[in-house]
A and B are shown apart, each in its own frame.
Chain A
Amino acid sequence: MALDPSLLSRFKIDSRLRSNITYWHVTPPRVASYADFPENIHPDLIKALKGRGITQLYSHQAVAIDSVAKGENVVITTPTASGKTLCYNLPVLDAILKDRSTRALYLFPTKALAQDQLDELLSLTGALDPPVRVYAYDGDTPQDIRKMVRTNGNIVLTNPDMLHTGILPHHTKWIKLFQSLRFVVIDELHQYRGVFGSHAANVFRRLRRIARFYGSEPQFIMCSATISNPSELAEAMSGKKATVISESGAPSGERHFVFYNPPLVDRELGIRRSCLLEAKNIASVLGRGGAKTIVFARSRLTTELLLTYIKESLEKGVLPDITVRGYRGGYLPRERREIERGLRDGSVKVVVATNALELGIDIGDMDAAVMAGYPGTIASTWQQAGRAGRSCSPSVAFLVASSSPLDQYVVTHPDYFFGKNPENALVNPNNPYIMWDHVKCAAFELPFEKGERFEDVDVSPALTHLAEQGILHEAEGRYYWMAESFPAESISLRSASSENFVVIDITEASSPRVIGEVDRASAPLLIHDDAIYIHEAQQYHIEKLDWQEKKAYARRVNVDYYTDANLAVDLRVIHLNETNVHPTYQAAWGGVSIVARATIFKKIRLHTHENIGYGTITLPEEQLHTDAFWFALDPAIEKSMAPTSLQSGLQAVANLVANAAPLFVMCDPKDIGVAPQLKSPFSGAPTVFVYETYPGGTGLSQKLYQLHESVLSAAYNMAKNCECLAGCPSCVGPAEEVGVEGKKAAIAILEALTGK
């Protein structure tokens, strides 16, 4: 079933809906720009491609193939569904057909994606004779075929985690692969950012070290969503400069992209109607109109809320029931597979999901995507929107803004969104905590020579230290692994996944059961004593959080509120990396030490979102050494303001900067925190600190420091262009948090900082 055009016009006719649309973007159909196959491509491959209906290449594919042929590392950043996979499959298969000993390693961020790509690749290689041997190698690969994959696979599809624990530490078994490793393909490169990206960059350092040992120097071919710094990220992963290919030659059908800003319900407070309720309305209109619709919510919590609302709206209507399902992390794999099947065979019409469904998991073509809240990055937004209408049928994506500042900035600045993507995907491969772990893994894999560098890093202090601990043994200028442990096994590439807390439902005392998992960082905020935890649209009251055992005991309840917790932060500067003096402020970045503690939580009524009570949280404080970006105000600004308005202004500016940062660095809001200090012990002046919540930092602070003029300017625009009177959640934060003077003071401070 395709999208009914009259359904779209309803949004234009209905005056209530229409008035909330701030921008309606139509991407006109684009004509393809073709190129012939390069002349020296193996004829069997051209035959196989023609057999699948590929008779010529898009221009960007030809450029990519040409660059690969020149031996360059390449990163392709053309849009979703522009045929990026052919950019690597073609040169790799061509090389294999010309030399059967050629090997390639393909990396996908998840097992599910590797499986999808395996199917696609097999349909192409099936026509080749003798066949090119392509296998997936991951945790699910049966033991009895692993040896065959290791010795015979021309192309091995895997994920960074498997490379880290299953392949590199056993590289001698993979000698055939490493001796002839010509290509390493990294798909979804933009996913390799933050903690995961910083780990992965080190895994690739280890990969190159092992490849060099066997005398091979693989070429890297990478694909990424559109970001601002593809070449920087590609270089961090591949260790070398990479050629960026961004100009797409692929055709595309007509695409509607609608920015929808829920109406203000309180102009003075800047409060808008809930984006969840608006998204529910839009999804219900689409669902009733017969469109297969995917609704993206931003968190597990909002996924569950939306699921409840949409179920109420669609499953109890006059029309026959429309099946609505939820989909998010924390559901069991079996449940997930069942929902994916339902979407493909059409028995599920509407699905409410977190970004777990954003990547290429096969759910068939959807007609419409509704995003309840901005997904956090432009790259992610395009990927979520891309789940609808992949097959060139007309499609529509709705971005429903929440009151959050990022959302408000995006829906009111369409140029930011539809212009050149300003987002940076950042990693910090030299994060000491992360790199240290991988130096250990590398030492296990192959003894370090004295004076050997870990790519460009001098690791001799680390090696000496490990030798002192008896983990390494130094003999005749080499460091031998001497511990009994297997280091890769205890190191997870994904942040602290082994540290998850489980939530146990004890409503039936006789049969307690695990209903979900919560990561360590979120636990103090989501499952503290007396929190309301929501799972599958069911509310649970947390009776007891056992911090030691990482367990929370919950009981099913039915209440009309949810809970929201606060974090208190104490920050000290440990060292300064770079600083830079401006007329009205001094900017810097460096290392900081932080003590954080969850203090209180608020009870907030459902639907109206009013505050109906408080509670205290008693949990141990968390210590953290990390990186931060900060700026200290010139005394002149301080003198020009009353102390109380300076205090609320500083909090308001801190909030604004935290809100604006994700516009430029791709991170989750939870990856950064802010700490305004009225008189910082370090600078002696009013100072705003923006710190990273991951130990050692993942490169955000340095980039924020580099881009701070743009960040401050965006923060200023956020406050200045907001329609509220004295602060609201969309800009500086609600007046009850930053004070009635907060917004005015923040604008004054930012005017002084930016010279506006």
Chain B
Amino acid sequence: MSPGVLKWETAWLTEGPSSKVLLRRGSLEAPHLGIGKRLRGYLASFDERLRNFDESRLLLLDLETTGLCGGTGTIPFLAGILVPDGARSRWQLTQYFLVTPAGEKQFLEALAPLLAGASAIVSFNGKRFDWPVLLSRYVLNKMCPPVDDPPHIDLLYPARRLWSKALQSVALQNLEERVLGFRRRFDIPSALVPSYYQMFLASRQLGVMYPVFAHNVQDIFSMLLLAMRLSESFDGEYACLSELELAGLARACKRAGMDAERLDCLRNLVERNVFEILPYVELAKYCEHKAKDYATAISLVKRALRLAPGNVELQKRLHRLQRKSESWARGASHNNH
């Protein structure tokens, strides 16, 4: 399932023995994302710049670091960067590997133009971890950060909206198995990554690092697949989504204030005769307060009551709707006279 890299090239960042950063470059065949209007709208509700960003200058970022707790003693030693290649259905993957912590300035200088030129950064949990860690490295090396606060799409948040109800955990590997539908083989656990780098520094054997390089590639591929999947979920056919996903999408739209999209989700759920009462109630609320369509609201609440017969809240709502409906009818007939 995971897209394959066509070929790998390895080179030093600069000529000569002074280079302290190793480059691994490869390209892969995969469609471009084509992020649609709904996902852009959702993202824009958190950062308006994400409504109209240029997708051809997107940058997917994943760091491997010497520790997972953050703070100034946490050094990123591997940056995996994936950008769309000019040609259609092509992506270019570059890994920047810090061969010695003393080369950090070179490492950061190399990343700076990429970060500064990106229209948006895509990450998984990068808002809380990767980005602050990287920013702090610029400060620590007395360098000006290339960009302070770039448009940032952290896939963790929309993924949480869509799948946290259905899944125990929205960790990347769990999403791979339960949402994207594949299981990693020959991978090392994230928790072991720092110790591989320690082994490398002690032994200077580059071979030690290959499992980490591969792990980082896997993470980035998964981010790409997850971004595709999110894009499809938000902007594709609702019929392709499970009930839980659709309910999650409704929640996401509610949070982002996208009412029309939210109503679409709810209607779709109601059409599917789901057993969960929430969509009926939410839609009924809309019909009652916004559309003033009491008849539809009453029928929705009755359908919900069939699913939850003893529900007092629903009964109250039904009575209120019936009262409103009658008084409206009286008012209407009164006006007719």
Residue numbers of A with Cβ under 8 A of B are 169-173, 175, 443-447, 470, 473, 475-476, 478, 480-487, 489
Contact = CB atoms under 8 A, between A and B. Distances in A.
Interface in B293-325: none
Given A486-B69, A486-B73, A175 B198 contact: no
Given A476-B100, A476-B102, A478-B102, A446 B71 contact: no
B198 A485 contact: no
Contacts of A475: 100-102
Given A476-B100, A476-B102, A487-B73, 18 more contacts: A169-B71, A172-B140, A443-B73, A445-B71, A445-B72, A447-B101, A470-B202, A473-B201, A480-B102, A481-B66, A481-B73, A481-B75, A482-B75, A482-B201, A483-B73, A484-B66, A484-B195, A486-B69
Given A475-B100, A481-B66, A484-B67, A172 B135 contact: yes
Given A475-B101, A476-B100, A480-B101, A486 B66 contact: no
A473 B75 CA distance: 12
Which of the four size classes fits the interface of chain B?
A: 20 to 34
A173 B67 contact: no
Contacts of B198: 470, 473, 482
B72 A446 contact: yes
Given A482-B198, A484-B66, A486-B67, A169 B102 contact: no
A487 B100 CA distance: 22
A487 B73 CA distance: 9
B100 A171 contact: no
Most buried by A among B71, B101, B195, B197: B71
A449 to B, nearest CB: 12
B75 A480 contact: yes
A446 B132 CA distance: 16
B171 interface: no
A499 B276 CA distance: 50
Nearest to A447: B101
Contacts of A172: 72, 135-136, 139-140
Contacts of B73: 169, 443-445, 481, 483, 486-487
B331 to A, nearest CB: 46
B25 to A, nearest CB: 25
Nearest to B140: A172
Contact of A170 (B71, B100, B194, B195): B71
B68 interface: yes
Contacts of A489: 69
Contacts of A485: 67, 69
11 contacts: A170-B72, A172-B72, A445-B72, A446-B140, A475-B101, A476-B102, A481-B66, A482-B201, A484-B69, A485-B69, A487-B73
Interface in B77-135: 100-102, 132, 135
B71 A486 contact: yes
B70 interface: yes
B148 to A, nearest CB: 11
Nearest to B100: A475
Contacts of B75: 480-482
A142 to B, nearest CB: 16
A483 B67 contact: yes
A171 B71 CA distance: 8
Contact of B136 (A173, A470, A481, A487): A173
Contacts of B136: 170, 172-173
B222 to A, nearest CB: 23
A175 B102 CA distance: 22
B102 A444 contact: no
Name the 7 nearest CB pairs between A and B, nearest first.
Answer: A444-B73, A172-B136, A481-B73, A480-B101, A476-B102, A475-B102, A172-B139
Nearest to B137: A172
B72 A171 contact: yes
A581 to B, nearest CB: 50
A173 B145 CA distance: 13
A374 B194 CA distance: 55
A489 B139 CA distance: 23
A175 B139 contact: yes
Contacts of B202: 470
Most buried by B among A446, A476, A480: A480
Given A169-B71, A172-B72, A444-B73, A484 B101 contact: no
A491 to B, nearest CB: 14
B116 to A, nearest CB: 19
B152 to A, nearest CB: 15
B184 to A, nearest CB: 22
Nearest to B104: A480
Given A470-B198, A481-B75, A170 B102 contact: no
Contacts of A473: 101, 198, 201
Contacts of B72: 169-172, 444-446
Contacts of B66: 481-482, 484
A332 to B, nearest CB: 30
Given A443-B73, A483-B67, A173 B102 contact: no
Contacts of A445: 71-73
A488 to B, nearest CB: 8
A175 B68 CA distance: 22
Interface string B51-72: 0000000000000001111111
B107 to A, nearest CB: 13
Contacts of B201: 473, 482
Contacts of B101: 447, 473, 475, 478, 480, 482
Nearest to A444: B73
Contacts of A173: 132, 136
Nearest to A488: B71
Nearest to B75: A480
A444 B100 contact: no
Contacts of B102: 475-476, 478, 480
Nearest to A473: B201
Interface string B269-280: 000000000000
Contacts of B135: 172
Contacts of A478: 101-102
Contacts of A443: 73
Nearest to A441: B73
A482 B74 CA distance: 8
A92 B283 CA distance: 58
Contact of A484 (B132, B140, B194): B194
Nearest to B69: A486
